[in-house]
Amino acid sequence: MATVVSVAVAAALLIALGVKEGDVVLEFSGGLLAFVDLIVLVAKGLENITPKTLPPREIIGAQGVVVLRVTPSRPGVVSVGGELWSATSNEVIEEGERVIVVARDGIYLRVSRAPKEP
């Protein structure tokens, strides 16, 4: 909806300014509108990355699975409670391995390898 409104406003403004088809101003403004719309879409998509369901205290002790390798020198990604989190660890944990959350440091979860189930 916002895209339609922004295109309509831009078109009305360009008509009021007397810009004709093929004019450089028209082409530039169309490209600028497309760029702004892309930024808005990306920003809206990033809103969904922030985990919202598990409060900080409840996530400690939760188990998850490594989605992107976690190493001591580079954070990885884990899935905990159906959400993706950035994670750090003191050990290398490969994709697909089960982990347990031992702490939360801001936007990062600190994880360790979960004990093997018998």
Q: Lowest mean pLDDT: which of 3-12, 23-32, 48-57, 102-111? A: 48-57
Instruction: Kindly list the domain boundaries of the chain, sorted by start residue.
Output: 2-47, 56-113
pLDDT at 5: 61
pTM for the model stands at: 0.54
- Per the document, the length of the chain is 118
Amino acid making up residue 89: S
Q: Classify domain 56-113 at the CATH class level.
A: mainly beta
Percent of the chain past pLDDT 90, that is, above it, reads 41
The predicted structure's pLDDT at residue 112: 96
Greater pLDDT, 58 or 111: 111
- pLDDT reported for residue 117: 74
Give the span between the Cα atoms of 106 and 117, in whole angstroms.
30
